[in-house]
Every structure is written in structure tokens, then in C-alpha cells.
């Protein structure tokens, strides 16, 4: 009896509290379900599923399609970011190893490019040496990048990069045509080397001394001290006159003397003065030519040769003009008169002037009329030192 009364006490307590039996079972089911007991569904009778719902204190709002779609998208983005982060952390050691490989390749390329004599790739051309260093450094760096991509299992990226580089190179080729033309012309000029630093050249209408040759332009220092930069493409296609390629250079000047003076006497005086100047070469010897003879006077042109390695052309030419002018003055050979002379003659006079001291000799004995061979030796030196496309023995079909 006592035991039975003990079991009946909870039921009496429930009835005293005014709770319905099914309501209590439903509350117990939810409590057990919330704490996660696996036996909750077995301990509670099936009638609990049909119990009356517990009144809610807050009214819930049903979810709309927009809320579900936004939540689904955020969940997808979060899952993707989480997956990539985990994958990146897993591949972090390989990524660090690939970066180290690229850095080592860059360092090795710089080291090898600075010591090209180990590979016997050095030339006598500083411009080509710089170009060769950049090529060697670039090849080693590209090899390191390929090894790093292979380590990361990203070799498929190489094909895409090469294809993109081809299209990009074609577009840049049209956009930067002038720059590419100057760069290629610089390489060809460096290979051909039609001039050296310090040479005096004339390129079209530009004249000066060669200072430097870069990948884009050529630097000239003009005779008045200005720096002139010419694009390599212009230099490569222009008419180039190198005054320093041959150490021997000819100077010339003209004198206009009165028509009444002896040409032979003026020629002998001028040649003697030019030959006596320190710096004028004896081979080729000084020479002269008659440019014009008329009522306005006789125009004589004199020539002399100097060695540009030891003498200045302008200074010697100025000294020659000064000495010849003084010798003509001492010999009584002057410039043409600017006044007109009217000569009255008798009817029985034939009008021919009487011969004087300055009369020309009637014979040409001792006059040199042979072929001018002054530059033949220099032409032969150029033919022997360079490939001559005009020589049939050296030309190829």
C-alpha cells in the first residue's frame, strides 16, 4: 500500500497542478529531445505526437523565397572560400618552395650573366655584351619559373601564357613599331660597327663626334658642344660619312688672283708654302687645280693631306691659307682689280698685250698630267679589310 501510494503521488501532484496528462507528456518529449537523449522517441507514447501545441509567446514570420535564395548564395560563397583557404594552406609549403626556386634562378642568372667569360660568350663589343647578359639572365629566369610551375602542377598555365604572349606581342609590335625598329637597328649597327666612339661623322645633315650607341639612339656631340640624339633607324638608313675611318684626310681652299698674273708662278709659290707646314703629309703630296679663268680673275684650288691622329685639319688649313696669302703678297700677286681698265690703241695695233714678266711659259715641259693616285692605296686598304660585294670572287648567287 505504501509503495502504491508513492507511485500515485506524482499523478496526484500533476492533477493538483491542473496539467493534462497528454500535455505533460508532450513537454517531457520536447525536453528529452532538446538534451539529445536517443531514447526520447521510445519513452514517450505515440499519443504525444497528437498533443496540443504549447502556446507561443512570439509570433514567427514565415521565410520568403528571397531570404532562402540569399541564404543559399551566402552559404555557397562561404563554402567556396573555406575550401580554397584550406587548399591554400595545404599547398603553402609547395608555394614557398616555388618562390625560393624563382629567387634562386634570378640570382643564378645574374651571377652567370656577369661572368660570361666562363662560357666564352664575351665579345669585343660592349653593346653586344650587354645584350648577351640580358639574354642569359632571361633564359635562366624563365627556366626557374617553368620549374616552379611544374612543382605547383600548373604547367597548363604555361600554354595559356604563351598564347597570350603571342597575341600581346603582335599587338605591341604594331603599337611600338618604331621602338622595335630602333632596337633592331641598334643591334645591326653594333654588329656592323661603321663607326667607333670618338669618330667624326656626318649623318645626312648632322655632323659631330660619336659619343655613345644605346638600344634606342646614337649620341653625337656637335662641333659647337651640343648633344644630339639620332634614332638608330635613322642612322641605319641614312647616308653616313665617316671622316675618321681613314686617318688621312684632305683639306682644300681656293684663291682668286688677278688674270694678269702667272698661274705657274702662283702655283709654285702656293705648293711650296703648303708643303713646308708642319703636319702636311708628303705622301700624298700637295696639289692644285685651275677652277676658272675669266675677266673676274683666275680661281685656283689647292689641296693638302694631314694625318688626323696627330694634326687638326682646321688648324692646318687656316695656317696654309695664311702662309699662301702672305707669299702671294710678297711676290706681287694680288686679287682681281675691281675697276675696269680702258686701253686705247692705234689703228695699226693688233690689240694683243705685250708679254711681261708674268707671262706663262709657251711649253708644258715638266707639268704633271698623270692620273691622280692619291687615294688608290686607301681604296685598296678598304677592299682588303672588308667584304666587298662588288668583287665577283666574294659574291654569292
What residue ranges define each of the domains in the chain, with the CATH number in brackets? 2-50 (no CATH), 92-175 (no CATH), 181-242 (2.30.30.60), 247-336 (3.30.70.100)
Tell me the mean pLDDT in the region 92-102: 87
Confidence of residue 47 (pLDDT cuts 50, 70, 90): very low
Tell me the mean pLDDT in the region 17-29: 49
Backbone angles phi, psi at 39, to 5 degrees: -95, 15
Please name the residue that has the C-alpha cell 711659259. Answer: 361
Tell me what pLDDT residue 95 has.
84
- 3-state secondary structure at position 280: strand
Q: Where are the beta strands (DSSP E) in the chain?
A: 200-203, 206-213, 217-221, 227-231, 240-242, 248-257, 287-294, 297-307
Confidence of residue 31 (pLDDT cuts 50, 70, 90): very low
Contacts of 387 (CB under 8 A, 6+ apart): 394
395 has pLDDT over 80? no
Q: How many CB atoms lie within 10 A of CB 255?
A: 20
Confidence of residue 312 (pLDDT cuts 50, 70, 90): confident
Distance CA 213, CA 196 (A): 9
Confidence of residue 252 (pLDDT cuts 50, 70, 90): very high
Percent of the chain with pLDDT over 90: 19
Closest CA to 194 of 246, 230, 229: 246
Average pLDDT across the chain, whole number: 74
Tell me what pLDDT residue 125 has.
65
Q: Supply 251's cell numbers.
A: 683639306
Query: 54-58, 178-182, 249-253, 384-388: which range is least confident on average?
Result: 54-58
Amino acid at each position: 500500500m505504501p509503495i502504491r501510494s508513492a507511485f500515485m503521488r506524482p499523478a496526484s501532484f500533476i492533477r493538483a497542478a491542473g496539467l493534462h496528462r497528454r500535455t505533460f507528456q508532450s513537454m517531457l518529449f520536447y525536453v528529452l529531445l532538446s538534451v539529445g537523449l536517443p531514447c526520447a522517441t521510445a519513452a514517450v507514447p505515440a499519443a504525444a505526437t497528437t498533443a496540443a501545441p504549447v502556446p507561443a509567446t512570439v509570433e514567427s514570420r514565415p521565410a520568403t523565397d528571397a531570404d532562402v535564395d540569399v541564404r543559399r548564395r551566402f552559404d555557397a560563397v562561404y563554402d567556396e572560400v573555406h575550401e580554397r583557404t584550406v587548399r591554400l594552406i595545404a599547398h603553402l609549403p609547395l608555394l614557398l618552395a616555388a618562390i625560393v626556386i624563382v629567387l634562386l634562378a634570378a640570382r643564378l642568372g645574374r651571377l652567370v650573366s656577369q661572368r660570361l667569360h666562363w662560357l666564352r660568350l664575351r665579345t669585343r663589343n660592349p653593346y653586344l655584351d650587354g645584350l648577351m647578359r640580358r639574354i642569359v639572365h632571361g633564359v635562366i629566369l624563365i627556366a626557374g619559373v617553368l620549374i616552379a610551375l611544374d612543382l605547383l602542377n600548373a604547367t597548363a598555365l604555361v600554354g595559356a601564357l604563351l598564347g597570350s604572349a603571342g597575341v600581346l606581342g603582335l599587338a605591341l609590335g604594331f603599337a611600338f613599331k618604331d621602338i622595335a625598329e630602333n632596337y633592331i637597328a641598334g643591334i645591326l649597327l653594333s654588329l656592323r660597327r661603321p663607326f667607333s666612339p670618338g669618330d667624326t661623322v656626318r649623318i645626312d645633315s648632322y655632323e659631330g663626334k660619336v659619343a655613345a650607341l644605346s638600344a634606342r639612339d646614337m649620341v653625337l656631340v656637335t662641333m659647337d658642344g651640343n648633344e644630339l640624339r639620332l634614332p638608330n633607324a635613322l642612322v641605319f638608313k641614312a647616308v653616313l660619312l665617316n671622316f675618321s675611318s681613314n686617318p688621312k684626310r684632305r683639306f682644300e681652299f681656293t684663291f682668286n688672283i688677278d688674270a694678269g698674273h702667272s698661274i705657274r708662278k702662283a702655283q709654285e709659290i702656293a705648293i711650296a708654302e703648303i708643303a713646308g707646314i708642319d703636319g702636311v703629309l708628303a705622301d700624298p703630296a700637295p696639289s692644285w687645280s685651275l677652277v676658272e679663268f675669266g675677266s673676274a680673275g683666275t680661281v685656283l684650288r689647292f689641296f693638302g693631306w694631314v694625318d688626323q691622329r696627330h694634326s687638326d685639319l682646321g688648324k692646318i688649313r687656316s695656317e696654309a691659307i695664311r702662309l699662301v696669302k702672305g707669299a702671294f703678297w710678297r711676290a706681287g700677286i694680288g686679287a682681281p682689280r675691281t675697276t675696269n681698265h680702258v686701253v686705247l690703241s692705234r689703228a695699226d695695233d693688233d690689240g694683243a698685250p705685250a708679254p711681261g714678266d708674268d707671262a706663262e711659259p709657251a711649253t708644258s715641259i715638266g707639268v704633271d698630267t698623270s692620273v691622280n693616285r692619291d687615294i688608290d692605296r686607301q681604296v685598296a686598304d678598304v677592299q682588303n679589310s672588308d667584304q666587298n660585294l662588288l668583287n665577283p670572287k666574294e659574291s654569292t648567287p
